């Protein structure tokens, strides 16, 4: 057996992951507020267009001003994030750049230019274009941001569920064979719907927090009440929407990323009639001994709920960590191989690839030897990525992060539904301007909680697919650039200072604009 070894600096892998995570987390502080405020300001300007009341124009301009500050910060961090694919993850970019680069190119050429064009009209065209054209520009700005999110999420979803591609042994690259499969992947559609709807929640909570601060201070009461009505309705509808799309996403994860679902649930041994864990005593700092324990300790669960979540059937089968490691038979009769067998087949594919290329370029081969090796490669290609896995335990993501992040996301989501119901109750059944102060303070507290829930969702999405950069195709340590970790360490701390400064500047500008209030 010919061994193909990768000379990898372990520190480079860890620091590259840390730097990318840092950039992504900061970027996601800005993006959901951009998407959420786009809806709020669009509705406010629509009210102005229909009523012609100056109040609604002032309200729309106020939220647009806050949108603009946040939009600029999101663009800056997003550009850095895309460049990191080339600087820190060049092996990944080379291996699948033809596929991964396509949606990002469309995003940059179409969506970004669209939103950057109409955002100029939105800010500077109040006295230069008709009211109808300006309203269209406002909605198209939000639509452009949403289309940007679509293409970026398509790229991310492809990493979670690679479709529409084939490996070319002559170029040593994965090449796209169907752009439609990549762009319209069911995984991408579910991810887009859940992510964008959750961003609307962030926008609604932000507006609610600002409005309740005004009510707490006894100022801008008309703007606060009317904007709170918009935020309350958008927030409640979006919260229920996030729950529904989250359920669909979980079912999709169970289908194509069963290990992620098992880690989210700390499900060691699966089966039918699976209950959904509400709480369990999982050590947050170390990987559990899933091979020895039957289930998570101190577990309190909802009967049948996990089977319903994963399969829409209370008696549905859900695989656990040990089932996936040791192999299992799906209800439809499909056999999932043990991870050790997948590793063996992956190594066989790597060997066949090396032998094929050697025979391909050998003058003594009439093509028959290369064809024989190519056949072996094609038979084992679905397991190619496993050839770089050294031990089956490496395919188990860190359970505590997935377990607790999932519960934070769901728990805060339920709390947000209750919050918006209470707000709408006071708006339409009581007097919101005379509401108890705890309601105003709860709106302000919900702002950071909503962000924590949003970031937790991304932690589940990204930590749950480890060790894969591309699910089952390319592990993380085979994706990094050939650099020394010291260079990444330097840029990590530079970015940490830079992004923290940008965040502090944005918060400072937003607070000043909120204190200043609308320009009447």
- pLDDT tens-place string over residues 51-72: 999 999 999 999 999 998 888 8
Buried b (16+ CB within 10 A) or exposed e, 75-108: bebbebbbebbebbbbbbbebbbebbbbbbebbe
pTM value is: 0.90
Q: What is the pLDDT of residue 1?
A: 33
Q: What is the pLDDT of residue 334?
A: 84
- Secondary-structure percent of the chain, ordered helix, strand, coil, rounded to 5: 70, 5, 20
Q: Which tokens go with 446?
A: 């919900």
Residue 228 · residue 207 · CB < 8 Å: yes
Give the C-alpha separation, 380 to 353, whole Å. 10
Sorted by where each begins, the domain ranges of the chain are: 26-184, 339-388
Give the C-alpha separation, 464 to 458, whole Å. 9
Q: What is the pLDDT of residue 330?
A: 83
Where is pLDDT greater, at 439 or 297? 439
Where is pLDDT greater, at 342 or 80? 342
Q: What is the pLDDT of residue 5?
A: 42
Q: Write down the mean pLDDT value for the chain.
A: 89
Average pLDDT over residues 433-454: 92
For 302, 368, 467, the CA distances from 282, given in Å and listed in that order, are: 17, 55, 21
Residue 486 has pLDDT above 60, yes or no: yes
Give the confidence band of 2 by pLDDT, cuts at 50, 70, 90.
very low
Residue 107 has pLDDT above 90, yes or no: no
Poorest-pLDDT segment among 155-159, 176-180, 354-358, 458-462: 354-358
Give the confidence band of 4 by pLDDT, cuts at 50, 70, 90.
very low
Average pLDDT over residues 145-154: 90
């Amino acid at each position: 057996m010919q061994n193909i070894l990768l000379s990898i600096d372990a520190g480079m892998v860890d620091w590259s992951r840390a730097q990318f995570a840092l950039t992504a987390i900061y970027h996601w502080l800005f993006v959901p507020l951009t998407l959420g405020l786009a809806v709020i300001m669009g509705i406010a300007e629509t009210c102005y267009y229909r009523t012609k009341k100056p109040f609604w124009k002032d309200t729309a301009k106020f939220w647009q001003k806050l949108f603009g500050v946040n939009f600029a910060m999101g663009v800056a961090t997003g550009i850095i994030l895309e460049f990191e694919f080339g600087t820190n993850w060049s092996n990944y970019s080379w291996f699948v750049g033809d596929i991964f680069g396509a949606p990002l190119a469309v995003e940059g050429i179409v969506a970004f230019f669209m939103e950057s064009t109409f955002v100029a009209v939105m800010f500077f065209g109040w006295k230069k274009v008709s009211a109808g054209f300006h309203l269209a520009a406002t909605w198209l700005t939000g639509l452009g941001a949403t289309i940007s999110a679509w293409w970026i999420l398509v790229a991310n979803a492809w990493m979670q569920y690679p479709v529409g591609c084939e490996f070319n042994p002559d170029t040593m690259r994965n090449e796209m064979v169907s752009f439609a499969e990549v762009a319209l992947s069911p995984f991408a559609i579910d991810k887009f719907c859940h992510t964008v709807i959750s961003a609307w929640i962030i926008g609604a909570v932000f507006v609610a927090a600002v409005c309740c601060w005004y009510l707490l201070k006894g100022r801008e009461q008309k703007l606060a009440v009317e904007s709170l009505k918009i935020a309350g309705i958008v927030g409640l509808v979006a919260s229920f929407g996030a729950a529904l799309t989250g359920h669909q996403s979980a079912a999709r994860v169970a289908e194509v990323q069963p290990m992620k679902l098992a880690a989210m649930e700390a499900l060691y041994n699966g089966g039918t009639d699976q209950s959904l864990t509400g709480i369990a005593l999982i050590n947050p700092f170390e990987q559990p001994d899933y091979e020895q324990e039957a289930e998570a300790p101190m577990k309190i669960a909802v009967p049948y709920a996990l089977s319903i979540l994963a399969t829409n059937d209370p008696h549905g089968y859900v695989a656990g960590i040990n089932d996936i490691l040791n192999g299992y038979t799906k209800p439809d009769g499909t056999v999932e191989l043990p991870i050790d067998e997948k590793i063996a087949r992956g190594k066989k594919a790597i060997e066949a690839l090396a032998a094929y290329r050697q025979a391909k370029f050998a003058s003594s081969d009439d093509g028959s030897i290369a064809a024989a090796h190519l056949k072996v490669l094609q038979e084992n290609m679905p397991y190619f990525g496993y050839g770089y896995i050294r031990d089956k335990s490496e395919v188990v993501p860190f359970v505590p992060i997935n377990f607790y992040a999932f519960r934070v996301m769901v728990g805060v989501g339920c709390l947000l539904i209750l919050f918006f119901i209470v707000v709408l109750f006071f708006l339409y059944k009581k007097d919101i301007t005379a509401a108890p102060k705890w309601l105003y303070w709860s709106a302000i507290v919900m702002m950071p909680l909503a962000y924590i829930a949003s970031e937790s969702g991304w932690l589940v999405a990204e930590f749950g697919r480890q060790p894969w950069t591309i699910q089952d195709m390319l592990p993380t340590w085979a994706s990094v650039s050939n650099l020394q970790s010291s260079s990444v360490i330097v840029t990590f701390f530079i970015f940490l200072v830079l992004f923290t400064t940008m965040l502090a500047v944005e918060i400072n500008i937003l607070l000043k604009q909120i204190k200043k209030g609308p320009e009447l």
